[in-house]
Amino acid sequence: MWLEGGIKITKANIWDLIRNLIYCGKIFVTKYKDQESRYVKKLHEPLIFEELF
């Protein structure tokens, strides 16, 4: 399926979009020096509760 702007949407793209943790207020922070990579709560209000996600 192609959108108006010329962007191709596939089932895999949609799956990636709905599984993005940023919607429940978390972002992934990569490993830096001696700190491990992890998910942290973001300052923005989540669009969906983590329990529903």
Task: Sketch the domain layout of the chain as residue ranges.
Answer: 22-53
- Enter the tokens of residue 35: 């700190």
3-class state of residue 10 by DSSP: coil
Whether the per-residue pLDDT at 22 is higher than 80: the answer is no
CA 30 to the chain's CA centroid: 14
Query: pTM for this one?
Result: 0.47
Q: Which of 52, 53, 3, 46 is nearest to 22 (CA)?
A: 46
pLDDT the model gives residue 2: 61
Higher-confidence position of 31 and 17? 31
For residues 29, 30, 35 and 41, what is the CA-based torsion angle, rounded to 10 degrees?
Answer: 10
Q: Which of 41, 36, 3 is nearest to 23 (CA)?
A: 41
